Amino acid sequence: MSDVIIFGGTTEGRLLAEFCAEQEIPAAVCVVSDYGKQVLPESPWLTVSHKAMTKEEMVSFIRKEMPKAVLDATHPYAAVVTENISAACQSTGVTYIRITRAETEFAKPVGQAQPEILWMESVADAVEFLSTVDGNAFVTTGSKELERYTSLPDYASRLYVRVLPSSENIAVCEKLGFHGRHIIGMQGPFSRAVNVAMLQDTESRYLVTKEAGNAGGFMEKIEAALECGVTPIVIGRPKKPEGISVEEGIDFLRGIAAQRERKMQLNIIGIGMGGPGQMTQEAVRILRQSDVVLGAERMIESVEEIAPGIRKEPIYLSRDVIKWLESNDGYRMISVVYSGDTGLYSGAKTFLRDLNMTEAGQRWDIRVYPGISTVSFLCARLQTSWEDVYLTSAHGRTPDVLELLKHHDKVFLLLGGEDSVKKLCRKLVENGYPQLTISVGERLSYPEEQIVTGTAEELQDCSFGSLVAVLLRKQKEEDRDE
């Protein structure tokens, strides 16, 4: 889930996303191009989608993210997109905020003339005008309406089109008949000097542009055109939408950030097997940012090397952790670590259930970070898949292994207690499974890691530690130890 959704692809959208990243506000940012994604900051607080969405897809996306608000920072001319975003917010009951772009001093209402600048209502009107005059034209209105210009009889030799440098845009230009130096793929905004150089190099007599405000580099284009004696053809904006400026949008986000600051962050982290290098990069980053780390003593020892100097408490039982949290509310960020993955027979399940039933749970911003599970690690070591493995555990429960083997070719167990492997193997031998392949893993990921593979008959007298992971396979495989 995200606190806000930003529909961007513009300078305003990028500025809002950067603020969210800086203030650690979880935000889903939607753009429609790879380039739009590339200019956004890399941040764990931003989730970026770079595909165009229908109104129905927007509704589903908003319902999935459940944001406090949707900020529409799309291009001023993206009227259809804005209409869809607004309708999607209305359907989901989420606050819609339109981010508007400040108009430049050159901007005039459609229909009013200004010396040396021609104002048009639409691209179609600009094309109609160009059909009545001679001379090259430098077109900067984007690739989406480029097809309209192909109605000019000599468009391929007379027009120079500047578009965003994506392969999709270049392909559109070429498909429409523009080739070679008549296609300029560059990302703006451009300085006055760059615009002057391009206008002179293309020997243009006309510049076709949209009035898109300062962030679109409009003034620099107009000034360059006037300097070169080029006639600007300006397509005036659609009716000005109601909304707020990007600065006001940032003020709105400050309010969300302030609300988040009142909640302390509680991280529930799966640290994998516990050996060096088993933690995800995200887990390492969060642990290093934590004020306190809680967990079983073995887990605490595992994180000491990557997060030295941070207070650590060997507390792991759900009731004890909650009691500690209720009496220690002066910390900004606390992490509770569990072995393996938080979703596979982990104490995280009980902790989350108990925590959400307490007042303490309401005070915390709770986040769960998964880790490498025991089953995925063991199967990787054995070079076998686990998509068809039945998962169970004998920690605190007594699974009917014989019944499970009637229905599954592979069964994974977490075993605990003295002689647990011996007891399992003898039970299998006594009940008709003496040749069942068994792989036993202990101290996985640690230097003293040991994995032994054999039949139930061969392993029934072998000794292992009190905590082991076991994979039962009906078919013997080549990974058996000789």
pLDDT digits over 122-164, tens only?
Answer: 899 999 999 989 999 999 998 888 999 999 989 999 999 999 9
Q: Crossing angle for the helix pair 79-92 and 55-65, nearest 10 degrees? A: 50
Residue 435's pLDDT is 94
Go through the domains of the chain in sequence order and give each one's CATH number: 4-100+242-248 (3.40.50.720), 118-235 (3.40.50.720), 262-369 (3.40.1010.10), 374-473 (3.30.950.10)
How far apart, in Å, are the Cα atoms of 118 and each of 101, 110, 219, 230, 247?
A: 22, 10, 15, 11, 31
- Model pTM score: 0.47
pLDDT of residue 264: 78
What residues contact residue 134 under an 8 Å CB cut-off, 6+ apart?
205
Hey, CA dihedral for 214, 243, 86, 73, is it positive or negative? positive
CB proximity list for 237: less than 8 A, separation 6 or greater? 76, 77, 103, 107, 110, 210, 211, 212
Residue 429 is predicted with a pLDDT of 96
Phi-psi group of 66: left, alpha or beta (phi > 0 → left; psi -120 to 50 → alpha; rest → beta) = left
Of 477 and 226, the one with more pLDDT:
226
pLDDT of residue 482: 39
CA torsion angle 292 355 468 278 (round to 10)? -40
- Cα end-to-end span (Å), the chain: 50
Establish whether the linkage from the previous residue to 189 is cis, with ω within 30° of 0: yes
Task: Tell me the pLDDT band of 261, cut-offs 50, 70 and 90.
Answer: low
Q: Which residues contact 294 (CB under 8 A, 6 or more apart)?
A: 312, 313, 315, 316, 321, 324, 334, 335, 336, 337
Q: What confidence score (pLDDT) does residue 235 get? A: 87
Structure tokens at 194: 């760059």
Give the model confidence (pLDDT) of 13-48 as tens digits.
Answer: 999 999 999 998 999 999 987 777 888 999 989 999
Q: Kindly give, in sequence order, each residue whose CB lies less than 8 Å from that of residue 50, ignoring residues fewer than 6 positions away.
A: 30, 31, 32, 33, 34, 36, 37
How far apart CA 127 and CA 272 sit, in angstroms, is 62
Q: For 320-332, what is the mean pLDDT? A: 84
Q: How do residues 410-462 score in pLDDT, each as one tens digit?
A: 999 999 888 899 999 999 999 999 999 999 999 998 889 999 999 999 999 99
**What stretch of H or E contains 14?**
helix 11-23
Across the range 197-217, mean pLDDT stands at 86
Tens of pLDDT, residue by residue over 364-392, are: 889 999 999 999 999 999 999 999 999 99
184 sits in which H/E element: strand 183-185
Q: Range with the lowest mean pLDDT among 114-128, 278-292, 392-406?
A: 114-128
Q: What is the pLDDT of residue 110?
A: 44
The per-residue pLDDT for 372 is: 93
pLDDT of residue 103: 59
Radius of gyration of the chain (CA): 31
* SS3 per residue for 283-306: HHHHHHHCCEEEECHHHHHHHHCC
